[in-house]
Structure 1
Amino acid sequence: MCNTPTYCDLGKAAKDVFNKGYGFGMVKIDLRTKSCSGVEFSTSGHAYTDTGKASGNLETKYKICNYGLTFTQKWNTDNTLGTEITWENKLAEGLKLTLDTTFVPNTGKKSGKLKASYKRDCFSLGSNVDIDFSGPTIYGWAVLGFEGWLAGYQMSFDTAKSKLSQNNFALGYKAADFQLHTHVNDGTEFGGSIYQKVNEKVETSINLAWTAGSNNTRFGIAAKYKLDCRTSLAAKVNNASLIGLGYTQTLRPGVKLTLSALIDGKNFNAGGHKKNSITTCWSWRRPLRG
């Protein structure tokens, strides 16, 4: 059976090399645990050092495996409540149905989505529909895979305006240690990425993007190096001369420390420049019990 990703996960390996291992300007903590009755609790908090703003969220999840049901409740510091009900692999193998709702008590605003996804062998597809009586927006995507090649399409249709508001294509190739991904968004935004796993310790990635009708081309390279099973180094640079450096150390199971720096290469000696910063990010994750 082929492991065909969703449309959003196309090129994920390259994105992870660019995004993981950095924590610019924030302190973060993640906590997870599980009660004896099978209820999973997870919470996370962020504090941004430049603005002093803090945010957090709490999530509880309960699974009824015999019926393929999962109930999830969410709350965040913006006082938004969310409820999600998922039914998976019961009506058909690989079929997942989800009802996702949110409610803001302060304003009385309500919203919801119906989601469906289906994965079998070498394809995956899905659709989301906003619950909006004034005219729902319909989202859809599909990915086909054959001998390492991947082709995907993503769209959204605004029924209130009878207009196609999103029209994206993607093409890529995936092997054990190499991935190539290209995409076109709405016929105006073009992008591509290359991921290469050199060996068990070294991963590299290249990212390129540009917009039709402008000279704004974005280019970046990134690499990750594992010193050992507990320590890793990360580095990236883009065509704007922004340099990112990261150091991650697992102090003990579930406790991780990340030191990261963002440097403006054009103003390297300007220590007071807002883009020259060194920050610390703590992550504590308690393994699930039960």
Structure 2
Amino acid sequence: MPLPQPVPPSWKDLGKSSNDLLGKDYHFNGTSLEVKTSTPSNVTFKVDGIRDSKTSLVSGNLEGKYSDKAHGLTITQTWTTNNTLRNQIELDNQIAQGLKLDTTTTIHPEKNTKSVLLGAAYKQPGLHSRAVLDVFKGLTLTADTVLGRDGFLIGAEASYNVTEGRVTKYSAAAGFSAPEYAVTFHGLSNLSTFAASYYHRVSPDVEAGAKAVYDTNAPSPTVALEVGTKAYLDSAAFIKAKINNSGVLALGYTQALRPGVKASFGLALDTQRLNDASPAGPAHKVGAQFVFEA
């Protein structure tokens, strides 16, 4: 008897292992602070802010989330420092098993802009599909589906403008995922941008990955390549390093100081401009993040 197939990742999570390895925990664009608290009544609050090291501007978000797991209901409200109000209501596994419905509204009073997104996601063994209707953006419907079997994944995404009656965007992807490694290929933006990513858990303490992107619409199309690794020093600390074909080396160090308190430090070095004597100086960056959770 064949083993039951797991639920495949969603379209946006294809290649997530490699993207997280190369994109997360590199805090070199400024100093940020994140505070998370929760109440016994299943309400969580998150306040985060960042001071950009280049512009010295401070931006932040205030988020409150209420979860009723017994009824599959989640309500999230966010208020940003640029005066954007965002509300999201999610209902999971209530109408049908594996079906999740959500509504997201965004209002920017100063710019007099607003958006409403109606979404539905359906998950079953071997299938993960989602559709989102953008009510105010020309009534645009975006749908994606990922099929999986024995580790092999294939997916596609398309956007259809209901008002104009035409497909405005389409993409496709294929890959293979296993507990120790994953390979993903994407054809994005109407198959004009191609990306390939690779992730490998070398050992319980070491991870490695790479990503290559080729944009045919670029003025001078070239392959953008990035490779990186992550190593756990112990149960409370890890380091990360990556470098791209432009010669930018990024380093990250994360340390759990105590339960609920975490500090991360990042550094980016332009290795091609280490001895740059121009007035602007080398394009090096340094930053830090502190997270408090209670």
Normalising to structure 1: TM-score of the pair? 0.93
Q: Give the counterpart of 1:158 among 157, 161, 167.
A: 161
Task: State the partner residue of 1:170.
Answer: 173
Task: State the partner residue of 2:52.
Answer: 48
Distance 1:168 1:242 in 2: 29
Task: State the partner residue of 2:200.
Answer: 196
Relative to structure 1, is the Cα distance of residues 263 and 140 closer, same or farther in structure 2, using a 3 angstrom cutoff? Answer: same
- CA shift, 1:238, in A, is 0.9
- CA shift, 1:274, in A, is 4.5
Q: Give the counterpart of 1:273 among 269, 272, 281.
A: 281
Q: Give the counterpart of 2:13 among 9, 13, 27.
A: 9
Q: Give the counterpart of 2:150 among 147, 150, 163.
A: 147
Task: State the partner residue of 2:240.
Answer: 234
Task: State the partner residue of 1:262.
Answer: 268
Relative to structure 1, is the Cα distance of residues 231 and 38 closer, same or farther in structure 2, using a 3 angstrom cutoff? Answer: closer
Q: Cα deviation per residue 1:93-132 (whole Å; 9 max; x = unaligned)?
A: 1100011111222244322110000001111000000112
2:292 partner amino acid? R
Relative to structure 1, is the Cα distance of residues 153 and 227 closer, same or farther in structure 2, using a 3 angstrom cutoff? Answer: same
Task: State the partner residue of 1:286.
Answer: 293
- CA shift, 1:87, in A, is 1.1
1:212 partner amino acid? T
Alpha-carbon RMSD: 1.7
Runs (5+) with no aligned partner, structure 2 = none
Distance 2:289 2:224 in 1: 30
Normalising to structure 2: TM-score of the pair? 0.92
- CA shift, 1:163, in A, is 2.6
The residue matched to 1:14 in structure 2 has which SS?
helix
The residue matched to 1:227 in structure 2 has which SS?
strand
Runs (5+) with no aligned partner, structure 1 = none
1:218 partner amino acid? A
Distance 1:187 1:110 in 2: 30
Q: Which runs of 4+ in 1 moved over 6 A?
A: none
Relative to structure 1, is the Cα distance of residues 255 and 65 closer, same or farther in structure 2, using a 3 angstrom cutoff? Answer: closer
Q: Cα deviation per residue 1:33-81 (whole Å; 9 max; x = unaligned)?
A: 1223332211111111111111111111122334322222111111111
- CA shift, 1:83, in A, is 1.5
1:243 partner amino acid? L
Bigger mean CA offset, 65-74 vs 237-246: 65-74
The residue matched to 2:110 in structure 1 has which SS?
coil
Relative to structure 1, is the Cα distance of residues 2 and 58 closer, same or farther in structure 2, using a 3 angstrom cutoff? Answer: same
Matched, 1:138 2:145: no
Distance 2:284 2:38 in 1: 40
The residue matched to 1:73 in structure 2 has which SS?
strand
Matched, 1:222 2:217: no
Matched, 1:110 2:114: yes
Distance 2:111 2:241 in 1: 43
2:130 partner amino acid? G
2:138 partner amino acid? G
Correspondences of 1:174-185 after superposition (within 5 Å) = 174-185=177-188
Q: Cα deviation per residue 1:158-187 (whole Å; 9 max; x = unaligned)?
A: 223333221100000001101000011112
Aligned partners of 1:257 and 1:280 also within 8 Å:
no
Relative to structure 1, is the Cα distance of residues 251 and 165 closer, same or farther in structure 2, using a 3 angstrom cutoff? Answer: same
Q: When the two structures are aligned, how many residues end up with a matched partner?
A: 285
Task: State the partner residue of 1:248.
Answer: 254
Q: State the percentage of identical aligned residues.
A: 31
